[in-house]
Chains A and B, each alone.
Chain A
C-alpha cells in the first residue's frame, strides 16, 4: 500500500468531487489548447489576407508606374483599361451596341502624329451574350464595398470578345496562356478563352465555339483574374474580330503610348477633343481610381491587423482566465477536501507522519486529478478545437470581408491550423503547475495544525 495507491483510492472514494474537478481541469486544458490553435488559424487567415492585399497594392503600384505614360480611348465597352477594369464600370448602358462608333485607320494616324505619342495600338472589344435589358436598372459594380447590385438581371451568360494585336504585349489585355498556345498574328478561326469562361462553357483546347456565326477553334486557355465580367473573355486576333464584326481596319479601343507623363496629359486632352463621343481615360484619372482602391485596401489591411491584435488580446485574456479559473477551482476543491479530511490529517500525524509526508499525500492526490483532467482536456482540445476557438475568439474573416476583398474571405475560411504538440505540452505543464499550486497551499496549511486540534475536528 504505497502513497500513489492510497492517493488513487482516496480520489476514487470521492467520485462526485473528483468528477467536478476533472471537468473543470479538462475544460481549462481544452481552452488552453484550442485558443492558440484557433489563434494560429486566425493569424494564418489574417496573414493570407494581408499578403493578398499587399500583393494587390504592390501590383497597383506597378500599374501606376506603367500607366502614367498611357492614354486609352474607347467606344462601347468603356472603362476597360489595365488600371481600372475592376473598379469603375460606370454604367451598363454603355453595352448598348447601337451607339458604338469606331476608330478608323485615319484616327490612328492622327493620334500617332500627336506630339509625344510613341505608338498607338488599336483593338476591338465587344460584349456578347447580353440578356434582355428591359427589366434592368443601371447599377454599379464597386469592388471596394463588397456589394453587387445587379437587380434582377442575370448576367451569367455575358462575356466579352476582344480582338487583340498579337505582335505586341499590352499589359492587362494580352492574355496569359495557361494551356494550349497563344494566337498568331492575324490568325483566323482560332480563339483563346479565359479559364472561367471555358469552365462555364465546359470547353477545352481543341473544342469549337460559334460566335456571331463564325466557328472558332479554341487553341488556348488563359488565366482569369479580376471580377466575374472581365474574367469571361474570348480573345481573337484583331483581324478575326474586325472581320467578325464587319469593321475591317477599325478598332473600338486605342491604346496610346506616350513618352512622358505630361505628354500623356496633353495627348488625352487632344484626344478628348478629337473623339468627343469616346471615353478617353487619362492617366491621372486611372491613377486616382487606383489610389482610391489602394486606400480601400489599406483600410482593409488595417482592419485585418486590428482584428489580429484583438484576437491576440482576447486569446491572452482567455488563456489567463482559464489558468486562473483552473487554479481557483483546484484550490477550492483542495481547500474543501483538506478541511473535510482534517481529522484524517490528525490521525496521520498521530501515526508519525511528518508535515512533509502529509503535504506529499495531498499534493499527489491533487496532481493525480489534475493529470487525468489534463489528459481528458487534451483529447477534447485536440478533437474539438475548431468549435471551441470559434466560440471564444472574435472572427478574423468577417473583418477581412468587410474590407471587401472576396478572395481573402475565401482564403481565411479555409485556413485551419492543428494544435501543435509544443502548445499541448505547454498547456499541460501550465495546468499541472496550477494543480500543484492549488493543492500545495491547503495541504501545507493543514499539515501545520497540531495533531490534537486536527483530531478534534468533526
Chain B
C-alpha cells in the first residue's frame, strides 16, 4: 500500500456489505481493502455474484457499506451524511451503466447537459460543453438524436459523455461493454484508455470479460464477495482449468 495519501484517489478499508433478505442474510462483500492511485485504470473482474458491482456501487456512493470505510480524495465518505453525498457524486464521480440509462425523451445533447444543470453553468455554456464532450466520444454528428435513434455503441458513448459532464476525477463503469458488439467494445475500451491518458482520470471498470479487463490495465479479481490476492487468483485459475 502506498504511504502517500495525497496520491490516492480511492482507499477502501475492510468494506463489507450485508443484505437482509428477510428469510436470510447475504454477505455480498467481505472485508474488501484496496487502494487506487490518481490516474490509475483498474478492472474488477469476477464471475456473476462475486460482489464486483456491489463494490463499485460502494465506491460510487450509490449505497453505503455495512462496515468499513471508503475514502475519496482523502475524505472518509462513510462519515458524510446521506443528504450531502449527492454533491460528491455530482462533482467527483462519473458513472457509466451496462444498460446506458439515458433519458429516452431527451436528445443526446440534452442527456449530456442534464448533470450540468447542477454545476451552475449557463444554458449556452452547457450546450457548448455537451457538444464538445459528444465530439470527444465521436458523436459530433449525432447530438440531436434521441437514444432510440442511436446504436448500442453510440448510446454508451452518450452515457460516457454524460458521465464526463461535470469533469469528475473518477470514472466508474459497470459492465460498460456488456451490451455491445465486439467492434463497439474495442472502441469503448479505447475511449476509456484515452480519457485516462488525456484527462488523467481514475477509471474503474467492472467486467467479466478477460479481454476488456486486460486491455484496461490493472486487474482486481473477486470471488464470493472477496478480493483475491495474486496467489488466490492463481489457485482459482488452476482449479478452473
Chain A interface residues toward B at CB < 8 A: 1-3, 6, 9-10, 12-13, 343-344, 346-355, 357, 450-453, 455
Contact = CB atoms under 8 A, between A and B. Distances in A.
Interface stretch (B115-123, B182-190, B227-235): B115-123
A451 B62 contact: yes
B191 to A, nearest CB: 19
Given A351-B165, A352-B166, 18 more contacts: A1-B113, A1-B126, A2-B117, A6-B106, A13-B104, A347-B101, A348-B114, A350-B95, A350-B101, A351-B95, A352-B86, A352-B91, A352-B118, A353-B90, A354-B86, A354-B87, A452-B57, A452-B62
A3 to B, nearest CB: 7
A351 B114 CA distance: 8
Contacts of A344: 103
A455 B64 CA distance: 15
Contact of B89 (A3, A350, A355): A350
Contacts of A6: 106, 110, 114
A346 B63 CA distance: 11
Q: Give the interface size class of chain B.
A: 20 to 34
Nearest to B94: A351
A451 B103 contact: no
Interface string B33-73: 00000000000000000000000010010111000000000
Q: Which of B83, B89, B162, B165 has the most CB of A within 10 A?
A: B89
B63 A353 contact: no
A350 B60 contact: yes
A3 B126 CA distance: 14
Given A1-B110, A2-B123, A353 B118 contact: yes
B110 A455 contact: no
Given A350-B89, A352-B91, A3 B62 contact: no
A357 B83 CA distance: 12
Contact of A9 (B63, B86, B105, B162): B105
A357 B118 contact: yes
Contact of A452 (B63, B110, B123): B63
Given A3-B117, A455-B97, A355 B62 contact: no
Interface of B: 57, 60, 62-64, 83, 86-87, 89-91, 95, 97, 101, 103-106, 109-110, 113-115, 117-118, 123, 126, 162, 165-166
B113 A455 contact: no
B164 to A, nearest CB: 12
Nearest to B56: A452
B222 to A, nearest CB: 17
A17 to B, nearest CB: 13
A1 B97 CA distance: 23
A354 B103 CA distance: 18
A354 B83 contact: yes
Nearest to A451: B62
Nearest to A12: B105
Contacts of B95: 350-351
A337 to B, nearest CB: 13
B101 A9 contact: no
Contacts of B57: 452
11 contacts: A1-B106, A1-B113, A1-B123, A10-B105, A12-B105, A349-B89, A351-B95, A451-B89, A452-B63, A453-B63, A455-B62
B153 to A, nearest CB: 19
Contacts of B64: 450
Contacts of A354: 83, 86-87
Which one of A13, A347, A453 has the greatest number of beta carbons of chain B within 10 Å? A347
Nearest to B84: A354
Nearest to B63: A452
Nearest to B111: A1
B83 A355 contact: yes
A21 B113 CA distance: 29
Nearest to B109: A1
Contact of B103 (A12, A346, A347): A347
B117 A451 contact: no
A351 B115 contact: yes
A457 to B, nearest CB: 11
B90 to A, nearest CB: 2
A348 B95 CA distance: 11
Contacts of B110: 1, 6
Contacts of B162: 351
A349 B113 contact: no
Nearest to B114: A351
Nearest to B83: A355
A341 to B, nearest CB: 10
A340 to B, nearest CB: 12
B114 A450 contact: no
Nearest to A453: B63
B179 to A, nearest CB: 15
A1 B63 contact: no
A391 to B, nearest CB: 39
B25 to A, nearest CB: 17
Chain A CB within 10 Å, residue with most, of B87, B103, B118, B162: B103
B176 to A, nearest CB: 14
Nearest to B118: A352
A352 B87 contact: yes
Contacts of B91: 352
Given A350-B62, A352-B90, A455 B105 contact: no
